[in-house]
Amino acid sequence: MNALDYKILQLLTTNGRATWAELAANVGMSGPAIADRVRRLEEQGVIKGYTAILNPESVGYEMTAFISISIDQLEHRELFLARVPEIPEVQECHHVAGEYDYLLKVRCQGTKDLDRIISQELRRLPGVFKTQTTITLNTYKDTQKIPLPTEN
């Protein structure tokens, strides 16, 4: 990747709906050349996809929680990792170092919904023997942007 690729990525992370013409005008290239370059970044897996970013509270998901999970036996991890993507409220799953094995970011409708996710979805999975939940009181920064170099 070079400085031009980073500039294109910066523009797309600011406005994912930018047209080829808008991108081209910002980097001094033609629309077709920009389209080819973006397609190449997609094929390389640098750009994973495009989506609308919703305000969770506007659609009824007013609570964010982080759930730390310990798995008791190595053979249970595969089943756990296969099941987690099927739980729509789980937005992120990270394998972490420390006292717990995994850290989940969960968006839910409230405490009853969170209780359902923990007790009926997560704790029923084989191997889950310990959880710890932290409820978010307020979020001051929530972004998908990654700091990119401005010069390469």
Number of H helices, E strands in the chain: 5, 4
> What's the distance, CA 18 to chain centroid?
21
Q: Is 144 inside a domain boundary?
A: no
Query: Does 125 share its domain with 71?
Result: yes
CA pair distance 76, 87, nearest whole angstrom: 17
Q: Is 147 inside a domain boundary?
A: no
Query: Does 80 share its domain with 111?
Result: yes
**Is the pLDDT confidence value at 144 over 90?**
no
Q: What is the pTM of this model?
A: 0.86
Q: How many domains does the chain have?
A: 2
Query: Does 60 share its domain with 120?
Result: yes
CATH code of the domain containing 98: 3.30.70.920
Query: Does 61 share its domain with 39?
Result: no
> What's the distance, CA 143 to chain centroid?
9
Domain that holds residue 35: 3-43
Query: Does 75 share its domain with 106?
Result: yes
Phi first, then psi, for residue 91 (nearest 5°) are -95, -30
**Is the pLDDT confidence value at 141 over 60?**
yes
Secondary structure (3-state) at 57? helix
Query: Does 107 share its domain with 60?
Result: yes
Residue 152 pLDDT grade (very low, low, confident, very high; cuts 50, 70, 90): low
pLDDT value of residue 22: 94
Range 108-130 average pLDDT: 94
**Is the pLDDT confidence value at 7 over 60?**
yes
CA pair distance 99, 121, nearest whole angstrom: 22
CATH code of the domain containing 24: 1.10.10.10
Phi first, then psi, for residue 102 (nearest 5°) are -135, 150
